[in-house]
């Protein structure tokens, strides 16, 4: 096993995480299996998943900082080999942060990794002999939530709040990508043209005001303005102010930290209201690490979404719900997408 890897052996380890994990090989004749892989900025998770979203085995590796295609490919192929051992695997699905060209399976650009214009699908199929699909990580996470979440949704918006803001749209039961996979970059819709500059280079993106990065930035600003406040005190104890610092302060009742969550949630709610004006949605599902803060984020988000909704008396306001699958949504969704294409020959996705 590669140094730093993690093998998951406990089901439902975190509250609100409904993915089921089995550590034994399924019996012969059981459900068809695919390997789902979620490439994130800090970790790469791979799992053996069936059509019901049951995770039969799961492995995790840290993502090397600013890693390129060669390094990431080595990790992916190692994960596939280990998950595939003594098992009958039908296909491989990958969800990756960044811009993925569909159906080619080519990663054109990623915000937290150094790969550019990487033909990842072709490489996986060539090295493994299995059919593979590659899509944006938020797309596949949203697909899992729409298909296998608490309710089945035909028209749903999925937003993931982590280091950045990702989005996936499921319309009429299918992932909306646009003609080549470039659609659905919801985190980079402009909500505040006079706001802070986003990592993409433009000012006022939703990601710039409603992400984990924004939480950290606002926390550091608050600590600088009030060196004796709880955020600053906890930051000095931890070595620096991070989003976790702000969360801890808010959970201890610090009004400035709670105000930061109020601002973060308000911007998120404004973005949701704007998207709810364009699309008629059954639900908005929020995932990612920041959602673990619960009502600190959800309460102001729901309030702003209702405040800025268009004609709520006539159209209603879709419920805003926490994700069912937690951090496993991308991995499960990637596997589900792979199983939809498992019967084709490598190189053929439509």
Write the pLDDT tens digit of every residue in 214-245: 999 999 999 999 999 999 999 999 999 999 99
Q: Rounded to a whole number, what is the largest CA-CA distance in the chain?
A: 63
Say whether both 335 and 259 belong to one domain: no
Residues 278-282 have a mean pLDDT of 96
Residue 270 within any structural domain of the chain: yes
Higher pLDDT, 209 or 348: 209
Write the CATH number for 25. Answer: 3.30.420.40
158 shares a domain with 127: no
Model confidence, pTM: 0.84
The domain containing residue 101 runs over which residues? 6-143+328-340
Residues 106, 207, single domain; the answer is no
Asked if residues 285 and 322 have their Cβ atoms less than 8 Å apart, the reply is: yes
83-97: per-residue pLDDT in tens? 999 999 999 999 998
Phi (first) and psi of residue 69, to 5 degrees? -60, -40
Do 164 and 267 share a structural domain?
A: yes
65 Cβ neighbours under 8 A, 6+ residues apart: none
Higher-pLDDT residue of 11, 154: 154
350 is a domain residue:
no
Q: What pLDDT band is residue 27 in, cutting at 50, 70 and 90?
A: very low
Q: Nearest CA to 63 among 79, 89, 44, 45?
A: 44
Q: Is residue 348 in some structural domain?
A: no
Q: Are residues 178 and 168 in contact, defined by beta-carbon separation less than 8 angstroms?
A: no
Q: Distance between CA atoms of 97 and 11, rounded to whole angstroms?
A: 26
Residue 323 clears pLDDT 70, i.e. is over it: yes
Tens digit of each residue's pLDDT (9 = 90 or more) over 164-220: 899 999 999 999 999 988 899 999 999 999 999 998 889 999 999 999 999 999 999
Q: Is residue 145's pLDDT more than 90?
A: yes
Q: How confident is the model at residue 347 (pLDDT cuts 50, 70, 90)?
A: low
Q: 233: how many CB neighbours lie within 10 A of its CB?
A: 16
Residues 318 and 182 in one domain: yes
In this structure, the answer to whether residues 93 and 207 fall within a common structural domain is no
Looking at the fold, whether 137 and 157 belong to one and the same domain comes out as no
Distances (CA, A) of 92 to 45, 89, 158, 307: 13, 8, 23, 43
Q: Which of 41-45, 196-200, 310-314, 333-337 has the lowest mean pLDDT?
A: 41-45
- Does residue 172 sit in the same domain as residue 304? yes
Residue 16 has pLDDT above 80, yes or no: no
Whether 277 and 227 map to the same domain: the answer is: yes
Neighbouring residues of 51: CB distance < 8 A, sequence distance ≥ 6? 31, 32, 336, 339
pLDDT band at residue 10 using 50, 70 and 90 as cut-offs? very low
Give the pLDDT of residue 112.
65
């Amino acid at each position: 096993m590669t140094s730093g890897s993690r093998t998951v052996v406990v089901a439902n380890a975190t509250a609100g995480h409904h993915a089921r994990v089995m550590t034994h090989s399924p019996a012969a004749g059981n459900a068809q299996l695919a390997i789902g892989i979620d490439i994130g900025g800090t970790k790469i998770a791979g799992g053996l998943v069936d059509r019901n979203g049951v995770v039969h085995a799961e492995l995790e590796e840290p993502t090397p900082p600013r890693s390129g295609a060669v390094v990431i490919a080595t990790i992916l192929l190692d994960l596939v080999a280990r998950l595939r051992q003594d098992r009958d695997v039908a296909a491989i699905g990958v969800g990756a942060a960044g811009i993925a060209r569909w159906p080619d399976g080519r990663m054109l650009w990623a915000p937290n990794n150094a790969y550019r214009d990487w033909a990842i699908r072709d490489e996986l199929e060539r090295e493994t002999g299995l059919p593979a699909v590659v899509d944006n990580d938020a797309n596949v996470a949203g697909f899992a939530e729409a298909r296998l979440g608490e309710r089945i949704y035909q028209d749903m918006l999925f937003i993931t709040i982590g280091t950045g803001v990702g989005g996936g749209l499921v319309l009429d039961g299918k992932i909306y990508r646009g003609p080549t996979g470039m659609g659905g970059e919801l985190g980079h819709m402009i909500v505040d043209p006079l706001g802070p500059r986003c990592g993409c280079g433009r000012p006022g993106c939703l990601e710039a005001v409603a992400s984990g990065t924004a939480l950290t930035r606002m926390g550091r600003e608050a600590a600088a303005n009030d060196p004796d406040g709880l955020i600053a005190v906890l930051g000095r104890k931890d070595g620096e102010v991070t989003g976790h610092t702000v969360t801890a302060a808010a959970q201890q009742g610090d009004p400035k930290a709670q105000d930061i969550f109020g601002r973060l949630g308000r911007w998120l709610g404004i973005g949701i209201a704007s998207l709810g004006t364009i699309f008629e949605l059954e639900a908005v599902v929020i995932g990612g690490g920041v959602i673990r803060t619960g009502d600190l984020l959800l309460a102001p988000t729901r309030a702003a979404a209702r405040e800025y909704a268009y004609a709520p008396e006539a159209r209603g306001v879709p419920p805003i719900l926490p994700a069912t699958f937690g951090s496993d949504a991308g991995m499960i969704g990637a596997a589900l997408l792979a199983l939809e294409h498992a019967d084709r020959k490598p190189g053929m996705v439509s």
